[in-house]
Structure 1
Amino acid sequence: MRSVHVTRGRLLRGLTALVVGTATVGVAAVPAMAQDDPGWVSAWLDEVTVSGPTAPGRTVQLTLTSTGATQPRVTVDLTGLAGVATAAFPDFCVTEGTSVTCPMPPTAVDEFGTLTGTVPVVFRAAPGATDGATGSLAYTALGEQTEPSTQQATITVRSGPDLLDLVDESVSGVAVGDSLPVPVAVVNAGDQPVVDLRLTLRFPVGLIPASYRNCRYGTDRVLATVVVCTVRGTFAPGQRHELRQKLTTTVGPATLGSKRISQFVEPLASAGPLPSGVKLKHREAEQGLRLRPVGKALDVIPAGVTGTGGQTHLRSVQGAFDVVAQGATVTGAVGETVRVTVGLRNEGPGVPDATNSGDGVGGFLFVPPAGTTVVGNPSSCWLNGDEESAGDAPATWYCNGPGSVFPAGLTHTAAFDLRIDSLSGTPGEVQPFGRYPRVDDNPGNDVAPVTVG
């Protein structure tokens, strides 16, 4: 990717050239390629909510995208914001009255021939704007020879507290046994203070958070530790608050693969229900979790800080684990039906965890022994692929795993009923369906035979 810098002077020269070129259309013909393919330009701005006039400004990204167009730009009409909100644009934009024109931003990137850039716009409630006031902003994307495309975004004023989470981090190189400092930081983007808040955190299986006396702890159905803390104090508008020593988290032996530690903040007075299906209990602890003010109050909330939730993403923790295939040996005579139980066992200590992706783990493939026919199978297993199109290849059955996590020490099995048609066939086998999140530390036991004699 390459950066593209479009200066204000270049924009004005382009606009002038457009006027001159139109006036002298009979003198200098426009190249045929430009006529045939003028390219395209599009823009997008989300709906915007700002707090009252005394609140910090909110930074919102106006996205501009273009392929093949000359002088792509966006023109913004602010007329519909009168008395409701103001909008401040960066220096590379040109303002004329209530109209603002921004070229493709200097930080735009070119990816496979498409330019994409973002224009940071700072919105504030206008002086005297009241709760519930709304206005509209019209913006038009165009190039020198493209058809203009106009859209509108609604700007709404909402008075009151507005807690936002400031954490969005990605951490690499984390190993089992590490002590990980997890940041916790919030800001009140509203125009009224917040008195006391609730902080809810979720640590995926393997991660062990420190104990605080004003927090309660529980385990959810995918073995994640859920932490709910009541944090006392007054959180003034614009003031950033942090857990100064950060939240010490031990990377335990069950930790395996990528993890996402989530956090969610809300005013205690209007907090929603507690996490369902989790029994929360206090732990013995000497310290309390306290959020302290840091620095001066923010005059403008940065772009990207838009919600009550935050995260710390851990990339690819290389924990140890060993998934072992569980085969079977049964006996019977031709014509009899026998039951075989096959599956996988996680010897640990790592726990395959697909809660980030939403996929299941611990699924396996079962190939019955030659000379047998499956006459009964569990509902969690079905033929993998089209049996008729497999030719001479043996039928293969796929069995679902136990869920989003495959706990250490768990044996996950399925029972099949096999009719014995002959006793001269080759053994079948069972093995994992995929090696998630990687090939385990002992791949030699990943495949096990299934025999009938």
Structure 2
Amino acid sequence: MHVTRGRLLRGLTALVVATAGIGAAAGPAAAEDDPGWVDGWLDDVTVGASGAPARTASLTLTSSGAAQPRVTLDLTGLAGVATATFPASCVTEGTSVTCPMPSSATDEFGTLTGTVPVVLRAAPGAADGATGTIGYTPLGEQTEAYARQAVVTVRSGPDLLDLVDEYVSGAQVGESRSVPVAVVNAGDQPAVDLRVTLRFPVGLVPASYRNCRYGTDQVLATVMVCTVRGTFAPGQRHELRHGLATTLGPATLGDKRITQVVEPLANAGPLPNGVQLKRRDADQALRLRPVGAPLDVIPAEVTGPGGQTYLRKVQGAFDIVAQGATATGALGDTVRVTVGLRNEGPGVPDGTVSGEAVGAFLFTPPAGTTVLANPSGCEPRGGEEGVADTPATWYCAGPGVVFPAGASRTVPFDLRIDSLTGVDGEVQPYQRYPRVDDNPGNDAAPVTVG
């Protein structure tokens, strides 16, 4: 699954709404005069000192069953710290502003959700570290109103923000994609030199630049750390001309998220932990060029130093093979069977985005046998308690969040032979991730004891 910047905010808002709406949302037996409810959320905001571009904050407004849903804002707490401007649909009276539910609001299962953009700019002379507040109260006709507050902080200095948030469908193994790299300085001071850190999940191969270093992390992703020289003026957009060429290698499979983080070099954080970074031979340097006129207002969707390019459902080839076993013994004997899965590749199942289990398998012992010990990483599931000859199925976790091509995940099981039924056991993947592979006929294998 993937998460956009806006979707994260909406998710937080939904949590607030769900909490506030308990007992208030209309149900089948609700009275006809139920006023419904209105709720909203505005995050705390940091703006650059005087001379920096303004920042756009999103006030998310939600409502169900309410007449004239709106939000009133009290700007008294911003005096001397910041100014705020609102859409033309809002009505201003002194330091009080009232904004209706936006006409662009979406209706999902009877709940309206809209976004009111609030453009904030540091007041002239506001000192570094100055703070102010915006009070806001979502309400409707006869609804219960809940007053809230957001803090606005002024900071002086460079403030690099990443501008990339792309979603790509139809990418195919073997092709080269141009990954955008773009930044803007939202501070009031120039940034001199910066660091860009990118992470390419397993299968993706970025181009080589002489001012970058490369390494592989514990989940086989390529980490790329680049030192980019130059002066990045307030409000000025900079980008990598033609983008960063990235090849989708044979290991590419499923959803892929390429992340990037930009930082002023002077106060950049520590390098990625556990990654040995080395330079590559390259004829070119990664340079970020100024593009267009400086921005006077930073858009609402640009919120921080991190960005992403998301590749959806790359249909790479792969084959997961179940590894069964055969053991021979007499009644009362203990025999060992080693069972599991092997990834014949070339694609590499990768659960770093979805959180899905990768390389996990299920093992059902042959009827008439008893597992004598719990192997590490495995646990019984199912089986009918008190019913003879009904073995539990064992779940065994995968090797990690990636299942490399050519790798196996096997577990030894010690089985006591209680009866010779001739009914085989079986081993198979816990689930077909990220899809049924290219040879499903070998996804299950028998386990025989006789």
TM-score, with structure 2 as normaliser: 0.91
Residues 291-370 of structure 1 correspond to what in structure 2 (within 5 A)? 291-370=288-367
Comparing 190-199 with 63-72, greater Cα deviation is found at 63-72
Residues 240-251 of structure 1 correspond to what in structure 2 (within 5 A)? 240-251=237-248
Look up the match of 2:380. Answer: 383
Letter in 1 for 2:133: S
The Cα shift of 1:358 comes to 2.8
Contact 1:377 1:415 in 2 (8 A): no
The Cα shift of 1:279 comes to 0.6
The Cα shift of 1:144 comes to 1.6
Letter in 2 for 1:238: G
Look up the match of 1:436. Answer: 433
For residue 278 of structure 1, give the secondary structure of its aligned residue in structure 2. coil
Look up the match of 2:82. Answer: 85
Look up the match of 2:262. Answer: 265
- Aligned pair partner of 1:232 in 229, 234, 237: 229
Q: Which runs of 5+ in 2 are unaligned?
A: 1-29
User: What is the rounded CA distance, in whole Å, between the counterparts of 2:387 and 2:418 in structure 1?
Assistant: 20
User: What is the rounded CA distance, in whole Å, between the counterparts of 1:333 and 1:391 in structure 2?
Assistant: 19
Look up the match of 1:13. Answer: none
The Cα shift of 1:387 comes to 4.5
The Cα shift of 1:386 comes to 5.8
Residues 380-419 of structure 1 correspond to what in structure 2 (within 5 A)? 380-385=377-382, 387-388=384-385, 393-419=390-416
Look up the match of 1:72. Answer: 69
Letter in 2 for 1:250: T
User: What is the rounded CA distance, in whole Å, between the counterparts of 1:247 and 1:179 in structure 2?
Assistant: 10
Look up the match of 2:58. Answer: 61
Look up the match of 1:40. Answer: 37
Q: Does 1:110 align with 2:107?
A: yes
Q: Does 1:143 align with 2:127?
A: no
Look up the match of 1:253. Answer: 250
User: What is the rounded CA distance, in whole Å, between the counterparts of 2:45 and 2:317 in structure 1?
Assistant: 47
- Aligned pair partner of 1:174 in 152, 155, 171: 171
Comparing 386-395 with 260-269, greater Cα deviation is found at 386-395
Give aligned pairs, total: 421
For residue 388 of structure 1, give the secondary structure of its aligned residue in structure 2. coil
Q: Which runs of 5+ in 1 are unaligned?
A: 1-32
For residue 138 of structure 1, give the secondary structure of its aligned residue in structure 2. strand
User: What is the rounded CA distance, in whole Å, between the counterparts of 2:378 and 2:54 in structure 1?
Assistant: 55
Residues 143-222 of structure 1 correspond to what in structure 2 (within 5 A)? 143-222=140-219
The Cα shift of 1:53 comes to 1.0
* Higher-Rg member (1/2): 1
Contact 1:377 1:417 in 2 (8 A): no
Look up the match of 1:11. Answer: none
For residue 444 of structure 1, give the secondary structure of its aligned residue in structure 2. helix
The Cα shift of 1:359 comes to 3.3
Letter in 2 for 1:210: A
Contact 1:76 1:100 in 2 (8 A): yes
State the identity %.
Answer: 77
User: What is the rounded CA distance, in whole Å, between the counterparts of 1:428 and 1:64 in structure 2?
Assistant: 56
Letter in 2 for 1:308: P
Letter in 1 for 2:424: P
Distance 1:361 1:390, change over 3 A: farther
